[in-house]
Amino acid sequence: MEIRNFSIIAHVDHGKSTLADRILELTQAVSERQRRDQMLDTLELERERGITIKATPMRLFYTAKSGQRYLFNLIDTPGHVDFNYEVSRALRACEGVLLVVDASQGVEAQTIQNAYLAIDNGLEVLPVINKIDLPNADVPGAIAELEEVIGIPGDTAVAVSAKTGENVEAILEGIIAHLPPPKGDPDAPLSCLIFDAMFDSYQGVISFVRVMDGTVKKGDVIRIFSTGKTFEVDKVGYFSPAPTVSDQLGPGEVGWITAAIKDIADTQIGDTITSDKNPVSAPIPGFKPAQPVVFSGLYPTDSEDYPKLREALEKLSLNDAAFSFEPETSEALGFGFRCGFLGLLHADIVQARLEREFGLGLIATAPAVIYEVERTDGSREHIQNPADLPEPDKIARILEPFVRLNVYVPEEYVGNVMGLLQERRGEMKNMVYHGRRVELRYEIPFGEILYDFHDRLKSLTRGYASMDYEPLEYREGKLVKLDILVNDEKVDALAVIVHRDKAYSLGRKIVDKMAEVIPRQMFAVPIQAAIGGKIIARATVRAFRKDVTAKCYGGDITRKRKLLEKQKKGKERMKQLGTVEVPQEAFLAVLSGDE
């Protein structure tokens, strides 16, 4: 049977998951009973946030108008800029992509970025113009943008509504006509690409693979190319959508392998699986390794939970190759972990999973980028935690990471966006008109777009702007460490590195926000911001304590206990700093909006 392996790529919200669902329905891969809101979004969190995180492969059958039957492997990819690494992994397993564009929005930042990722991987692109049921849908406009901005021919484009199902079948015919079948030699040595992996407590690591050449079946001894480690294959199979066992996997096929692999580090994403007896001489060209770029400290609110947190982090990292962690100690917060993420959304998701799936109460410190410090003695080091910055007299200079930022925005909002970018120390490199849409190209410190930048961008453009970025080199900046003192004690976990010109306004903002969110105590608590030894801003948490049991008029002891328990619950995300109870929000005061 002929095979087509493809992925769907799109800007966030252009309808990728909805379209994938429709395709599943058309190919009857899922019974209505099995159908959930968004079939392919497997994690609970994904459904809640309406975004796709993990790439999920699916095996579908389609009988074409010609009467011939085809096997399709559909690999879903995430849409958010934080998860670009997952996209590039998934694309390596395909020959082609459906590039979905919302007919009412046109081409946006991730449309372009994902399209280039596909083109750079040598994939064929089939444009799909979606949401044609919307009154403001502009199909010719969207096609023109695709041709103009990305340079792909629009004549094969299929216009559909994933919502109503209109014309979706034409996509399936388009896939057969325009996306190439996989090539591969069943008799060649085994060469299998690992494009994802997950950990299962019964089976060990389940590697998601695309077979390039050769075949793999139960009992084969496989070798992981980069480490040379060998394992005996336990089972192979595909996703339909539940993992289903099959006899073997051959060239062009997408499926999974289990081989009693206990450590996910043994099956790194992008690595090649080959046969131990008859190995290939060269691996499949590798993926870009996922690099955490944003770091934040995670501490248990109850210090007794430290071992539980370590265990949870270990488990999570089994399923998330892009996430890193190492032990860290804070004077203020005790024992915790410095965790690395791909971006703020990724950090949010990891934290939410730790709390939900593992029942942990956590305090997260403000996310920060990695700075490079050159000491006066000429040595250089990378600083993941602002608290680790050397004394000012030992610092020759501090360098910060820059990114190339592209913002796409309708003409009328260009002024607003340029104002924001200037405020964030951005330097304009170019401005390109694509019809009524303008692309602003900037170079900007990564740290400046970390906090509330995306929200501000959206609110300044009524939601119309979109953005993407890629890392540039480190550049010297006039940076200083801003210390925060609570009750006259410096709190290491609250320190941030900021640009000198912004230190005063940021210090003011942080102390005000903290004074607002820290509950009143028995005594007045001063909150101060300082640079070096110099106090630059101050606010006070006034004294007072609400006695929640006062209104219980003695008597009813259960009611009293309930109230106390409720109060205790409310405190779960609090941390005792000396004599002061500080809630999670205070640790993220630096993130609070500019307004």
Ligand X SMILES: Nc1nc2c(ncn2[C@@H]2O[C@H](COP(=O)(O)OP(=O)(O)OP(=O)(O)O)[C@@H](O)[C@H]2O)c(=O)[nH]1
Site residues (vs ligand X, CB under 6 A): 10, 12-18, 50-52, 79, 130-131, 133-134, 161-163
Identity of the residue, 111 or 365, whose beta carbon is nearer to ligand X in the bound complex: 111
The values of phi and psi at residue 254, to 5°, are -115, 130
What is the residue whose two structure tokens read 């109850």?
302
What minimum distance in Å lies between the beta carbon of 593 and ligand X? 23
Q: How far is the C-alpha of 172 from the C-alpha of 7, rounded, in Å? A: 13
Q: Taking the complex as a whole, how short is the minimal distance between the CB of residue 154 and ligand X, in angstroms?
A: 19
- Cα three-residue angle 131-137-140, rounded to 5 degrees: 110
Nearest to 9 by CA among 187, 146, 204, 167: 146
Nearest to 585, CA basis, from 485, 489, 529, 514: 514
The CA distances from residue 53 to 36, 77, 129, 298, in Å, are 17, 7, 23, 21
The two structure tokens encoding residue 517 = 């969110």
Kindly state the smallest distance separating residue 133's Cβ from ligand X, in Å.
Answer: 5
Amino acid at 440: L
| CB closer to ligand X, 78 vs 270 | 78
The nearer residue to ligand X, 38 or 528, going by C-beta atoms, is 38
Q: What angle do CA 345, 96, 435 make, to 5 degrees?
A: 70
Residue with tokens 């329905």: 25
Q: What's the closest the beta carbon of residue 511 comes to ligand X, in angstroms?
A: 37
Task: Answer whether 511's CB lies under 8 Å from 529's CB.
Answer: yes
For ligand X, the closer CB: 10 or 486: 10
- Beta-carbon contacts of 167 under 8 Å, excluding residues fewer than 6 positions away, are 132, 158, 159, 160, 161
Nearest residue (CB) to ligand X, 54 versus 509: 54
The least distance separating ligand X from the CB of residue 42, rounded to whole angstroms, comes to 12
Residue 206 is assigned to a ligand binding site: no
CA 415 from chain centre, in angstroms, equals 30
CA dihedral defined by 293, 452, 465, 13, rounded to 10 degrees? 70
What is the C-alpha to C-alpha distance for residues 505 and 240, in angstroms, rounded to an integer?
A: 55
What is the Cα–Cα distance from 58 to 253, expressed in whole angstroms?
11
Minimum CB separation of residue 583 from ligand X in Å reads 30
Q: Is 51 annotated as ligand-binding? A: no
Nearest residue to ligand X on Cβ basis: 79
Q: Is 167 annotated as a binding residue?
A: no
CB of 12 to ligand X, least distance (A): 5
Work out how close the CB of 413 gets to ligand X at its nearest, in angstroms, rounded to a whole number. Answer: 22
Pick 27 or 52: Cβ nearer ligand X: 52
Residue 13 annotated as binding? yes
Cis peptide before 241 (omega within 30 of 0): yes
Q: What's 517's DSSP letter?
A: H
Is 42 annotated in some ligand binding site?
A: no
| Least distance from ligand X to the Cβ atom of residue 41, Å | 7
CA-based angle 512:463:406, to the nearest 5? 90
Q: DSSP assignment, residue 221?
A: E
Q: How far is the CB of 341 from ligand X (least distance, A)?
A: 18
Pick 50 or 419: Cβ nearer ligand X: 50
Nearer Cβ to ligand X (14/59): 14
DSSP string, 367-397: PB--EEEEETTS-EEEESSGGGPPPGGGEEE
Q: Which is nearer to ligand X, 133 or 147 (CB)?
A: 133
The CB-of-150 to ligand X minimum distance in angstroms stands at 17
- Backbone angle region of 356, left / alpha / beta, with phi > 0 → left and psi within -120 to 50 → alpha: alpha
- Nearer of residues 17 and 207 to ligand X, judged by Cβ: 17
Determine phi and psi for 399, rounding to 5 degrees. -115, 145
Q: How far is CA 337 from the centre of its chain?
A: 19
Pairing of strands 69-76, 2-10: parallel
Whole-number Cα distances in Å, 20 to 11, 12, 57, 104, 161: 14, 14, 11, 19, 12
Q: Is the Cβ of residue 13 or residue 594 nearer to ligand X in the bound state?
A: 13
| Residue 247 labeled ligand binder | no
Query: Is 330 annotated as ligand-binding?
Result: no
426 is in an annotated binding site: no
Residue 288 CA, chain-centre distance (Å), reads 15
Binding annotation for GTP: 13-18, 130-133
